[in-house]
Amino acid sequence: MEPLLFLVHRIPYPPNKGDKIRSYHLLQHLARHYAVHLGAFIDDPEDWSHQDKVKALCASTCLLPLHPGRSKRTSLKGLWTGQALTLPYYYQAPLQQWVDAVIQREQIRRIVVFSSSMAQYAEKHPQAYRLMDFVDLDSDKWTQYAHSKSWPMNQLYRREGRRLLDYERHIAASFDASLFVSAHEAGVFCERAPLCASKVHWYNNGVDTHYFDPALSHLNPYPPAQIALVFTGAMDYWPNAEAVEWFGKTIFPPLRRLRPNLHFYIVGSNPTDSVRQLGRQEGIHVTGRVPDVRPYLAHAHWVVAPLRIARGIQNKILEALAMEKPVMASAQAMEGLDTQSLGPGCLTATTPEEWMTGAQPWIQGSPQRISSHRQWVMQHFDWTTNLKVVDDLLSSVQTGQTAP
């Protein structure tokens, strides 16, 4: 098989959070067609135990530790170089040396970059076909963060949003093609980088519907008589933490006054101190890392995704829909999903009043399974089907034609 270089900001396994779900399935797909040479960082010490799983898919790997505290200090170089802080955060000279060496040794003609922070390693190799998977518009996340922070962090985040957008535009212009996670996300970027529009494409994420299958049996993790609503996600990710804090303090208490047996489960790894403190509140449970989220989804009455800062596609929503669960989410979390055909079992709420009005009928009944949710996911979010755009773009290297 022909060689291909794949650069990822975080080891693409285990697929237990949004970016790693997409990068893992992309890696799997690429490995069926190419001899993949993978360069990636490991920022969670527990992920070192999964390196053999990743190496089995690759011709070679360069996996380097990334220490968040140290990298944050390093990122401050961007303040006097004029860069987005994201770039020095993810820059390590040994990875650049490995990239340069493997491209020369293997005569690599195809490079796939996952996340804008990794594009810097491929910039000096224009002789190769370079495909950029931005996934989300990261620059906009920083701008959203700025709205929720006070001085001086709001100014720092606003600067990061501007500088990172400049870099995203530069990469989209210089690389051969760019990808985003949804048509909506691609459209937003094209509005902000209109000169790059002809090279911008997108593909939906997928869901492993064999794994997230409501027909499978799971032990009920909830005590009898509880009405359980659940949020799933990595709890050291600030938008997730902010979402459950807002929901737990603003929406959940009045709902529980209506139904005292209502319980809110926050399921996900590495909860922050502020999230852990929510567990002291009556009716709120913070599980931390669990071996399997499916029991919590399968036996929940409904799933909530009250994110107020979000970009792209929320895998947590797709997984809940694949499990045939009712879902209630913010407009930001639903962005990029055409869920109008899903009916009353999928509700969008923004204000506290909308959350209360939408939730009250749901807390009265027993758990529901909504088969149309799963059918919708299977129709629109199949990995093999959606990744065909990657095949089409990379095949243009062989034909010498411009990618479609």
H-helix or E-strand spanning residue 263: strand 262-267
Show the domains of the chain with their CATH numbers: 3-206+383-399 (3.40.50.2000), 227-380 (3.40.50.2000)
Q: What confidence score (pLDDT) does residue 401 get?
A: 43
**Band (398; pLDDT cuts 50, 70, 90):** low
Per-residue pLDDT of 168-220, as tens digits, reads: 999 999 999 999 999 999 999 999 999 999 999 999 999 999 999 999 999 99
Residue 399 scores a pLDDT above 70: no
Residues 314/293, Cβ–Cβ less than 8 Å: no
Measure Cα distances from 256 to 102, 229, 241, 248, 249 in Å.
Answer: 58, 11, 21, 10, 11
Per-residue pLDDT of 221-247, as tens digits, reads: 999 889 999 999 999 999 999 999 999
Per-residue pLDDT of 109-136, as tens digits, reads: 999 999 999 999 999 999 999 999 999 9
279 φ/ψ angles, rounded to the nearest 5 degrees: -65, -15
> pTM for this structure?
0.89
Residue 365 scores a pLDDT above 70: no
Residue 69 scores a pLDDT above 70: yes
Q: What confidence score (pLDDT) does residue 385 get?
A: 94
What is the Cα Rg of the chain in Å?
21
Residue 404 scores a pLDDT above 50: no
Residues 350/140, Cβ–Cβ less than 8 Å: no
Residues 207/377, Cβ–Cβ less than 8 Å: yes
71: alpha, beta or left, given left = phi > 0 and alpha = psi -120 to 50?
alpha
Per-residue pLDDT of 287-335, as tens digits, reads: 999 999 999 999 999 999 999 988 778 999 999 999 999 999 999 999 8
Nearest-10 Cα torsion for 162, 164, 169, 174: 150
Mean of the per-residue pLDDT values for the chain? Answer: 93
